[in-house]
């Protein structure tokens, strides 16, 4: 089906997706979530918590109790995310 509709993403279960995620992405996304939880707590919902939990679970599946390194994010680092979340980028979707 993907060949028939290029650019279409087929949904897969979260656990199956996690197997394909690179270590770098796990570290980046876990760090970004923790920074959002600290600086923009109101942007964290059940879906983002589930994604975070799945990332941590996948790290543990791969490496057991090995420490999951974190990347440091400041509030300024997340400013673009915040502006996009609030709609500061007034992009129109053309149909």
Tokens 């923790």 found at: 34
Split into its structural domains, the chain has a count of 1
pLDDT score for 40 = 87
Please tell me the pTM assigned to this model: 0.75
- The pLDDT, as a whole number, for residue 85 is 66
User: Which of the 8 DSSP states describes residue 87?
Assistant: T
> Apex CA 33: angle with CA 21 and CA 27, to 5°?
40
**Four-CA torsion 27, 59, 84, 73, nearest 10 degrees:** -30
Q: Any residues with CB less than 8 A from the CB of 20 and at least 6 apart, and which?
A: none
Average pLDDT of the segment spanning 10-22 = 89
Asked if residue 73 belongs to a domain, the reply is yes
On whether residue 38 sits in a domain, the answer given is yes
* Reported confidence tier of residue 12, pLDDT bands at 50, 70, 90: confident
The number of angstroms, rounded, from the C-alpha of 95 to the middle of its chain's C-alpha atoms is: 27
Decide if 25 is inside a domain.
Answer: yes
- Written as six digits, the tokens of 83 are 């502006």
CA distance 80 to 88: 9
pLDDT tens track for 22-79: 999 999 999 999 999 999 898 899 999 999 999 999 999 999 999 999 999 998 888 8
Domain that includes residue 82, residue range:
14-86
Structure tokens at 17: 């997706």
Q: Quick one: pLDDT at residue 8?
A: 77
């Amino acid at each position: 089906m993907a060949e028939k509709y290029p650019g279409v993403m087929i949904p897969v279960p979260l656990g199956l997706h996690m197997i394909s995620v690179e270590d770098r992405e796990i570290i980046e996304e876990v760090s970004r979530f923790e920074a959002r939880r600290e600086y923009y707590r109101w942007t964290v919902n059940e879906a983002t918590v589930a994604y975070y939990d799945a990332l941590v679970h996948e790290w543990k599946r791969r490496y057991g109790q090995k420490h999951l390194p974190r990347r440091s994010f400041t509030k300024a680092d997340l400013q673009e995310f915040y502006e996009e979340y609030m709609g500061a980028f007034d992009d129109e979707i053309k149909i």
